[in-house]
Copies of this chain bind each other. A is one copy, B any other.
Amino acid sequence: MTPVPPATVARLPIYLRALDELVGRGTPRTSSGELAALAGVGPAQLRRDLSYLGSHGVRGVGYEVAHLRAQVAAALGLTRDLAVVIVGVGNLGQAFATYVQDYEADGGQGFRVAALLDAAPDVVGTRVGHLVVEPAASLEDVVAREGATVAVLATPAGVAQEVADRLVTAGVRSILTFAARVLRVPDGVDVRSVDLARELQILAFHQQTRSATT
């Protein structure tokens, strides 16, 4: 019933944010042109994307903001809150933990930071926001206790695969990793990778071609 293409899924969060912007302004109705401009895409693409979620606009009029926001949120599965476990509370893990806790506090739906884990004894026991860091050794217990199905991997690259294996065995089905490693996971487990060096290198490529042309 829902063959939403991956490219469309990747844009839904952007539309959600654009709709929140309109909600904040108190705008009750919008058009594909306005929404597309806010999202930084073309109007045709926006209409095509929304069409995969069903018809929620009115021809000749546009979209009702509140209704559409609810549809997009529902399509993304943000109706219930998923428990997220963060492994690795170094700079990045801490930044991410704070980020998601702020997101929750802001009324952001869909997630809840359930636990923080780290292997370093001097980090275990420290607080980040409203949570205390627990030892990495109890990873399996913590995942089970919280019923966590989503994990954020912010450990050193060297242990990332090992930690991922343990997370998957413990029941995690989605991993967001910051480690610059290709993770091997079984079918049915979803991995998304945020690789900072990679982003910079892609920018470097474009600078080079630009200076070559100019």
Which residues of A are interface residues toward B (Cβ below 8 A)? 2, 4, 9-10, 12-14, 16-18, 38-40, 75-78, 82, 84, 90-92, 94-96, 98-100, 103, 108, 110-111, 149-150, 173-174, 176, 180, 182, 188, 190, 192, 194-210, 212
Q: Which residues of B contact A4 (CB under 8 A)?
A: 205
The 8 Å CB contact of A12, one of B103, B180, B199, B205, is B205
- Chain A: interface secondary structure? helix
Q: Which residues of B contact A100 (CB under 8 A)?
A: 196-197, 200
| Nearest 7 A/B pairs, CB to CB | A77-B208, A91-B95, A13-B198, A174-B203, A40-B182, A13-B201, A92-B95
Q: How many copies altogether? A: 2
Q: Find out whether the CB atom of A207 lies under 8 angstroms from the CB atom of B190.
A: yes
Q: Which residues of B contact A76 (CB under 8 A)?
A: 201, 204-205, 208
Q: How far is the CA of A108 from the CA of B157 in the complex (A)?
A: 15
Q: Find out whether the CB atom of A91 lies under 8 angstroms from the CB atom of B98.
A: yes
Q: How far is the CA of A50 from the CA of B77 in the complex (A)?
A: 39
Q: A10-B198, A12-B205, A100-B197 are in contact. List 13 more A-B contacts (CB 8 A).
A: A9-B202, A9-B206, A13-B198, A76-B204, A77-B208, A78-B201, A91-B99, A96-B196, A149-B207, A150-B200, A150-B207, A174-B204, A176-B200
Residue of B nearest to A200 (CB): B111
Q: Which residues of B contact A176 (CB under 8 A)?
A: 196, 199-200, 203
Q: Find out whether the CB atom of B98 lies under 8 angstroms from the CB atom of A204.
A: no
Q: Tell me how far the C-beta of A190 lies from the nearest C-beta in chain B, rounded to whole angstroms.
A: 5
